[in-house]
A and B are shown apart, each in its own frame.
Chain A
Amino acid sequence: MNFPKNFKYTKDHEWIELQGQIAKVGVSAYAIEQLGDIVHIELPKSGTTFKAGESFGTIESTKTVSDLYMPVAGKISEVNQAALQKPELLQEDPYQQGWLVKIALEKDTSIAGLFGSDDYEKYLRESGS
């Protein structure tokens, strides 16, 4: 399974890709495989603010609904309409076309608490995944 090196990851299997003060947020290939077919996602509107760790939407497979948690604090600057229309993009391409939201980071936000790709893979191994 592929985990891009330049991304950061959470224990809840979200990823972020930092581009200056904007971060793209998505769900890791591991989580997608666990969920199976993604059939519906719900995302907030642009302009909504979130604290780190706050639920910002849901991802739904044929059998389960899971909350999505914001890896970092900030304000939603863009929502991936293509993913809302076509949730299977998350399965086909979880790191590029399957992103969920872009978030403008709150000032002085630290991403130090997030996993790098190696640590995330180690976390998956240790949690018996």
Chain B
Amino acid sequence: MELFEITIDGRQVKAEQGTKILKAALDAEIYIPNLCYIPEADLPFGGCRLCYVEVEGRGLVAACTEPVEDGMVVHTQTPEVNRLRRTAFKLLIAYHDLDCRSCWKNKNCELQSLASKLKVKLKKPEDFRGLPTDLLPLDTTNPFIVYDPNRCVLCGKCVWVCNKRNGEALIDFAYRGYETRLILSSDISLVKESCASCGECVAVCPTAALQPQPSLQSTVSSAEGG
């Protein structure tokens, strides 16, 4: 593998040919916001749209998908980059259940840490319209995992990790457009062994969209109360 030298925010960084800008930057401890990035995945998911950077001569690109090229000059903080990131982030939180105080991932949530890094207040954007007022019901059909669509950012990490571990995903995407959400397999014979012992999807979830069944009681009451 050829070793390329690229410049990120004025710093010289070495990266192997084929490496994506995001990995090269994170490896060099230069932070680029991201939510759906899985370092081990063969193919980036590319769904969160937070990792924009500006490459000289190329313009705005998603850092997770763009391979490094020798001599490439990357800026991670330009007005255009920040604008796109903030738009994507504002969209995410606009449709998110922001009752953080009653959320079991409070202070341990990637949206919260992203908000402080992006300097965006974690509240509904005032200039947005038609935001949902009611919460969607929790999906409790799976005997081991509870899914909260109101707190899901659809980053796909759980789907990837479940696929990797079980050879097929017991969690997957369903529906289209704004209605897109995850569904969990409720087939007991399928999930019995895998779900009961694994829990990796819960571990990998950046928010509180997935949690183990035992805490069901408190979540239901908080969702109904909220």
**Do A and B belong to a common assembly?**
no
Q: Which residues of B contact A (CB under 8 A)?
A: none
**Residues on A close to B: CB < 8 A?**
none
